[in-house]
Amino acid sequence: MEQALRLRTGVSKQEIREKIWDYMEAQNIADFPRPVHHRIPNFKGSSHAAEMLLHLQEFKMSRTVKGSYEACQNIRQLKAYSRIQEVKVDPDKPLEGVRLIVLQGRKTLLVPTPRLRTGLFNRIVPPPGATKEILRKCATSQGVKNYSVPIGLDSRVLVDLIVVGSVAVSEKGWRIGKGEGYADMEYAMMVSMGAVREETPVVTIVHDCQVIDIPEELLGDHDLTVDCILTPSRVIVTSCTRPKPRGIIWSMITEEMMERIPILKNLHFQEKKAGKDIALQKEHLAHLKTSHRQAPLQNTGQMASVRPADVACSSHQDTEHGTSKGEPSSVTTVYVGNIPQHARVSDMKRTLRNYNAVPLRLNWQGAQGRAFLDYKDQATAEGAISSLKGLSFSGNTLWVNLAKKQK
């Protein structure tokens, strides 16, 4: 099947995301909630894609699943569906149908905690004698909040099938999420707690336009790959042989992330007791610098691209000169304009991470459609401009230049 989108050589993950989001909106493929930018996009026909899941042998054999609405319909057609005991489904909107099907099948439904703030996942417990309408409510994001019981790291859970949403995926099984890294981290945590095995199949449900060629060099050891792709028109078995994450890669975890995601602290403590290497990113880089006398890793942009935590930037007020009190005079400020009013500062921070353009300080003026970024020197600022210039951000092409007045 011919791809809807073609990518240039040297494309980045974020550019792929932006092209997919822009295309789905422009072609009216996107479905509520819109715009789909910075989301796992819901799409028209997602129910038909979900129905494909019921034909998969892997689903027939599973006891635990993680998935989407249309794909859920397919679950019913699996010969061994009766063997499924526990199902893990992401909280994204396009997966609402899968959650409903799992509940209608009287299976145990597990849903990840949003942004992992209060734990890994929750078990959805419908009220006794729940009607189809009540089950439908339980399958919504609000229902997940109202009818759930938290599941701890020490819980005995076995996930036999995982169904995830994606922004883009290739027929080889390479997957790109929305850029926050939670699906990758959830899988790594499940490995650490013994909830998944190496042979546990991973399925994703997307629109046909989201199936594109993705360069393998964009993938890191932390990235989750998929074994099967379901679209409204076809089933793609990827035969992916690239290893999936074997647990948390602590050298990619920052102290900020540990503070923001309490469950990481618990897992860190458990693995420390088990004698594993649990050096965090700062400690790991310091060790490399002192022990091997080498420059900092050149791949830190990719490492940052999966951080669920926001960029460690604080705002300042001295935008005219591009410096704030206490900053060295060499600081250079970059002006970013044409930012849509609906855009969020968290979106900008994530974009800066993904393009390896994290500033010393960010002054967000979203109401005026602009932001100011402080960099340590002009060379760094010009490198950031080169990375960001012409970038599509939330549907607008950014204007990026050195600020008019420099200290």
Residue-wise pLDDT tens for the chain (407 aa)? Answer: 667 787 777 888 999 999 999 999 999 999 999 999 999 999 998 888 877 766 665 544 544 444 433 334 443 443 344 465 777 888 888 888 878 877 887 888 888 887 777 778 888 999 999 999 999 999 888 888 889 888 877 777 888 788 889 999 999 999 999 988 888 988 998 898 888 888 888 888 999 999 999 998 899 888 999 988 989 888 898 988 898 998 888 888 888 888 888 888 888 888 888 888 888 876 555 554 454 444 333 333 333 333 333 333 333 333 333 334 444 457 899 999 888 877 888 888 888 887 878 999 999 988 888 999 999 888 888 888 888 877 877 777 888 988 876 54
Residue 179 DSSP one-character state: S
DSSP SS3 for 125: coil
Cβ proximity of 207 and 229 under 8 Å: no
Q: Where are the domains of the chain?
A: 13-237, 250-304, 332-402
* Topology, domain 332-402: Alpha-Beta Plaits (3.30.70)
Question: How many C-beta neighbours within 10 Å does residue 342 have?
Answer: 11
**Neighbouring C-alpha atoms within 13 Å toward the C-beta of 335:** 14
Tell me the C-alpha distance between 327 and 329, whole Å.
Answer: 6
3-state DSSP helix/strand/coil % of the chain, to nearest 5: 35, 15, 50
DSSP SS3 for 334: strand
Q: Which pLDDT score, from 0 to 100, does residue 113 have? A: 83
Q: Which two tokens stand for residue 304?
A: 């940052």
Stated length of the chain: 407
In CATH, what class is 13-237? alpha beta
pTM here is 0.66
Q: Which pLDDT score, from 0 to 100, does residue 83 have? A: 61
Residue 397 DSSP one-character state: E
Examine domains 13-237 and 332-402 and report if their fold is the same: no
Q: Which residues contact 7 (CB under 8 A, 6 or more apart)?
A: 15, 16, 19, 212, 213
Greatest alpha-carbon pair distance for the chain in Å reads 70
